[in-house]
Amino acid sequence: MWKPTSIYTKYYRKLVFIEYNYKKIGDRPKKIWGVLVKISQPNIDGDYTVVIKNPITKCFDCIASTLITNIIHDKSIENIGNFNSVKDYLHKKLNYDVVNEIPKYLINDIDYL
């Protein structure tokens, strides 16, 4: 069972992947992705509801925290975008071989919520 931490609010409106198990023992975890919209307050049983929005279909998905195993935010897309915005400046200051090696270290920057 997943419980939210105090840092989850900075991930609102960001792309997340949710791994969850659905009742069958031995099943591999399923993954869905979307933009994190909201994490509800706990209900009487202490469970939370996580709401995400699919950016392509504009549909909302609600998942109970009892099913969730992990919520993952992949920052590598943002890091590579930030790097591409300063890439021309770095080409002027550094050698091309150094600048071309930097993106290799920006991938797989993952936060687990």
Burial class (CB in 10 A: 0-12, 13-18, 19+), 2: buried
Same-domain status, 87 and 64: no
Number of domains comprising the chain: 2
Domain extent at residue 19? 8-74
Q: Is residue 34 part of a domain?
A: yes
CB 19 within 8 A of CB 69: yes
Give the pLDDT score at 2.
78
pLDDT at 62: 92
Task: Give percent above pLDDT 90 in the chain.
Answer: 15
Same domain, yes or no: 51 and 104: no
**What digits encode the pLDDT tens for the residues 49-104?**
999 999 888 899 999 888 888 888 888 878 888 888 888 888 888 877 788 888 88
- Whether residue 31 is found in the same domain as residue 85: no
The pLDDT of residue 25:
63
Q: Which of 32, 2, 29 is nearest to 15 (CA)?
A: 32
Q: Are residues 23 and 52 in the same domain?
A: yes
Shared-domain flag, residues 85 and 49 = no
CB 69 within 8 A of CB 112: no
Residue 53: what are its φ and ψ, rounded to 5°? -120, 130
**Percent of the chain clearing pLDDT 70 (strictly above):** 94
The verdict on residue 107 lying in a domain is yes
Helices assigned H by DSSP within the chain: 76-93, 96-101
Position 2 in a domain: no
